[in-house]
């Protein structure tokens, strides 16, 4: 059965990190009143490369549902056809896509959870956080559950979307944002080490030994993303 193909029109392009050449791209799905997806899912973009070969690449959606719009985060990769195509896209230009796809989603009933990400693996986590803690006037969906977001990167200027998560953490008592650096300078006052090590050493004491670990990497889209859901 053929998949419906839509056109995504770029409406906004933001540089998130100059050293990492990482961009946040906002799209409108033309011809649709609503793009129905769950936070954590992905879309697959379609394009023809310079050799005439049809290419497909999957990218996690980096936003909560909002009408016919969706966002993605992408790093420029030297020699990478699709990453450079997306990074060079100008506002008003469009790309074909199909989706949403994927099973990396929040589970019901919602439990206290730790979201873990590195690099552009932050994309689906942004969707989760936006959905649970909306700042557009919609009702909070976190149900009072404690939600931790732990982001691992090498250097102090590495955390993507840092301002967004720090703002939400400052306004929501049950959302906690933690950065940990694997190559921190001596002046860095925060957490150090790899993200998985930090989580193992700093999980809330009441949750030790009762973790249900559900890693679900998105196919071809992001890397090193996991969700820890806690029972009790």
Nearest in space to 113 (alpha carbons), one of 148, 161, 72: 148
pLDDT tier, 160 (very low <50, low <70, confident <90, very high otherwise): low
Whole-prediction pTM = 0.84
Mean pLDDT (the chain, rounded): 82
Q: Which residue has the tokens 């959905």?
A: 131
Give the C-alpha separation, 144 to 213, whole Å.
21
pLDDT of the residue at 157: 61
pLDDT digits (tens, 9 = 90+) for 66-122: 999 999 999 899 899 999 999 999 999 999 999 999 998 988 888 888 888 888 888
pLDDT of the residue at 192: 76
Query: Does the pLDDT at position 210 exceed 60?
Result: no
pLDDT digits (tens, 9 = 90+) for 162-205: 788 999 999 999 999 988 887 767 777 667 778 778 877 777 65
135 vs 224, more confident? 135
Token pair of 74, please?
Answer: 């992408």
pLDDT tier, 229 (very low <50, low <70, confident <90, very high otherwise): very low
Query: Does the pLDDT at position 213 exceed 60?
Result: no
Give the C-alpha separation, 127 to 121, whole Å.
11
pLDDT tier, 224 (very low <50, low <70, confident <90, very high otherwise): very low
pLDDT of the residue at 155: 58
Give the C-alpha separation, 95 to 129, whole Å.
27
Give the C-alpha separation, 167 to 10, whole Å.
26
Helix%, strand%, coil% for the chain, nearest 5: 20, 35, 45
């Amino acid at each position: 059965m053929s998949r419906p193909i839509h056109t995504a029109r770029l409406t906004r392009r933001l540089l998130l990190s100059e050293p990492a050449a990482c961009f946040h791209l906002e799209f409108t799905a033309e011809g649709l009143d609503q793009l129905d997806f769950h936070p954590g899912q992905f879309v697959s973009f379609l394009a023809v490369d310079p050799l005439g070969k049809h290419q497909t690449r999957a990218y996690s959606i980096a936003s909560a549902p909002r009408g016919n719009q969706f966002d993605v985060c992408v790093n420029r990769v030297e020699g990478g056809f699709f990453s450079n195509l997306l990074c060079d896209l100008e506002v008003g230009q469009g790309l074909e896509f199909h989706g949403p796809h994927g099973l990396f989603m929040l589970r019901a009933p919602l439990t206290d959870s730790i979201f873990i990400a590195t690099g552009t693996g932050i994309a689906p986590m942004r969707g989760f956080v936006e959905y649970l803690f909306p700042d557009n006037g919609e009702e909070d969906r976190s149900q009072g559950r404690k939600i931790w977001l732990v982001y691992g990167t090498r250097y102090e200027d590495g955390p993507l979307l840092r301002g967004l998560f720090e703002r939400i953490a400052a306004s929501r008592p049950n959302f906690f944002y933690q950065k940990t650096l694997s190559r921190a300078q001596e002046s860095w006052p925060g957490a150090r080490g790899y993200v998985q090590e930090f989580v193992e050493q700093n999980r809330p004491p009441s949750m030790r030994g009762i973790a249900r670990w559900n890693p679900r990497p998105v196919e071809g889209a992001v890397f090193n993303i996991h969700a820890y859901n806690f029972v009790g």
